[in-house]
Structure 1
Amino acid sequence: MSTDGHREAIVGGDTRLTRSQARDLLFRLADGLVQRGIKPGDGVGVYVGNTPEAVLLNLAVHLLGGRLVYIPPEPGPAELKALVERAEVAGVVVDPEFGTQIDGWHLQDLPGEPEERTPAPEFSTVSYTGGTTGLPKLAVHRPNRDIASDPRASMPPMNLLCNTLITHGSGASTAKAALLSGSKLVLGPSKFDADTFIRLARDEQVTMTVFVPPMMYEVLDHPDCPGPQFSVMVGGSALAPRRLRQAIERWGPVVNQGYGLTEALGITMMPATEIDLDRPDTLRTVGKPHPLMEVETRDGDVWVRGPFVMEGYWGEPPLSETADGWFNTGDMGYFDDDGHLYLNDRSKDVIVTGRTSDNVYSRLLDDFLVTLPGIRQAAAVAQPDEALGEAVHLFLVTDGSDVDVDRIRDSVVAELGELYQPRGVTIVDRLPLTNVGKVDKRKLRALFR
């Protein structure tokens, strides 16, 4: 952290901490963990929301050389219990104001003495990612010593508003970027709210913010959507080209895209300066690979290798032993001749339908649907069908106007072909989101079971 101790470091809720106060609380939280027996290498689960204390708790675990295990809010109690057992932690810190699904040491009771400590040379971070087997999977990341310095440390100080959970990849990276660059970190609520975002952006004079796409859409659709004020980083899920154009027209050429996932935190970047509204292809690409990353497509699947890829899943052999460091992202895509990557869909979201079991890429359908009059958001998912295997079903959020379902079907067929024809359409008030703000297609598919 900067030695400029009187400057504000972290703002969240009713709490405002200067850099000196944050440093003091960091050491007190670390001491509280030591008093509870935490040693280098021990796992510490954290079930916390977006508060200044939680940001510093995460740093305290790393300061002690611990294994920081993010416990997400999405699973139910049984899956959370399985996750904690699988992670083999020495203790869990919980914030009862965030949730009461699991027990542990209360964050509010944790601080001890402000004993200054030398940072441990090694630590790790473990993040939950949903698996297809029903068991929680835990991606392990360690600091990479081959990277000479973190480029975020050279960023100019900003007022940086974090909208995603700090126990999620984008939120954790945002918090680290703010602290390394000497910026003021402004924490949005644990559950995103556009009204609160607009108030914080105004009151805290925010100059940069981080979204996942549904959050950005909600702000763009808000009657009090702010004008040009901040630069934007958006990632975490597919971004509809029409919505990207809308954001640029509203805020200017300041919308940067990043593509990554829990297992591979930084894969590609598409800087705002490379987006050209007169070239639609620049609105669809997720950019070029990070210089330190290798990215390949194999039979349509995106594979990655490099320092931002996880070591492996906890309890399983490392990728270096099983796949020479390569990881299959689960995304399907392709490169153009200039080296830009385009994503078609998540493999688990592809709808396999028709007499010849062809692939319908739900992302292409989602992106097209929001260009139609009256449709604000869209999610295409697979519905079981005896004749077709799977059929295309649409969930649509409208702007309040009447929507002609037959016209939607005709427009889809005209643009994308018969294979993409929706067999069912459901109008909803809003799409379900995960607690990190992504459209929860798994929950939509579960409606058909």
Structure 2
Amino acid sequence: MLKNNRSFAKMFTAYGLAAFGDYFDFMAVSILLGFIWKADAMTIALVPLTFAVPSILFSQLAGILADRWNKRNLMIATDLIRAMITILLIFAPNAWVLLGLIAIRSTARVFHYPAQQAMTRSVVSPEQLLQATSLNGAVFQLSKVLGPLLGASVAAAFSPATCMAVNAVCYILSAMLLLRIPVREGRTAAAESGATLSLRAAWRDGWHILLSSRALQVSLLFCLIGLAGIQMIDAQITVLLRDIAPDQPQLVGWLVTAIGLGGLASVAWLRRFQQLSAYGWLLGGGVMLIGIMFAAAGMFEPGFPLWLLLGASFVGGIGTGFTSIGMTYILQQETPPDAIGRVSGIFDSLSSVIFVIAPLTGGVLIGLWGASSTFLYVGLFVGGIGLIGLFMQRLLWRSDRTAKQTTSMTA
């Protein structure tokens, strides 16, 4: 049973601490820049880039190193580096130093992610992978809901520096938990055999594995489409609400909470299964639900019951849960264990490109069509792609492994 897997339990707790600290800290940075230093809009707009650009630049290198270095030691090192940089954030004298430190810390996170993905596969049996990814998804959703809420409260009651100090402690505790995992759990097959490819050869091999797997290719495409839809108009939700509910600014928080609860509901449902065989239901269905959420928001008008919008957000949250957990599970299941770091790094770098391009595209579209029309059109497009995934899943996800499986989920 997964609950008896001590190595995973320590990894899971460490991941939860780090994820909570990240969102706790994010609110502190936002409050410090926006309300205390009163930074201009362009400076604040650079904050997302400090998270995305390091991933674009270094994720694929990080994936290669995760497949050849001791994954446990790499995760510990990155946690300690992030703790030290977070402490330095407390003493940042201005916005530019703050942004530079955040970019360095984000670079350390880039090297942590593929190592965690690869180590999860090494400490968890194939029969427990779905439960493991579901649990990680649950703690991520909880962190996304509770972290900003508590972080904003603590920053307002005390100071942003207090939030940063809490995050630094979370990183240190995460590293201490990982230290209790046996070193052998983090060893790689390449290190044990003494056979290592050059960086260039390892990079080519990672892309070859991805491009030779139909299941990985199609899953990555659907996941990126869903992510692009979210990023394209997620940042513009305040613009939409300003038009359709100008006297209810608290609705932003309610929608975020509804999406988070939907994500938790998807996790609770997926935990009932030991394995998933119908990738189309998972990713096609998830992308379709995300599209429904945005299309419903685009059709919402003043006077409509708010529970309709909140219900659509809950449904969209289920879709985001299916998509994120499904992609992680498929990546773990369809990738050779000794290449999970490299393929995870490729996925992380491509996702970060979406994080940069999609919001800019969304801003342009809203300038052309208006908020409601953009939400409606993007929702219909994303939802339509999801429907294609549902109805054509046997063709799209056909592979040597999945062609033999039924289109049902096996408990």
Q: Which has the higher helix share?
A: 2
Indicate the TM-score class for this superposition, using the shorter chain for normalisation: under 0.3
TM value normalised by structure 1? 0.23
Taking CA–CA contacts closer than 8 Å with sequence separation of 6 or more, which of the two structures ends up with the larger relative contact order?
2
Q: Which has the larger radius of gyration?
A: 1
Q: Which has the higher strand share?
A: 1
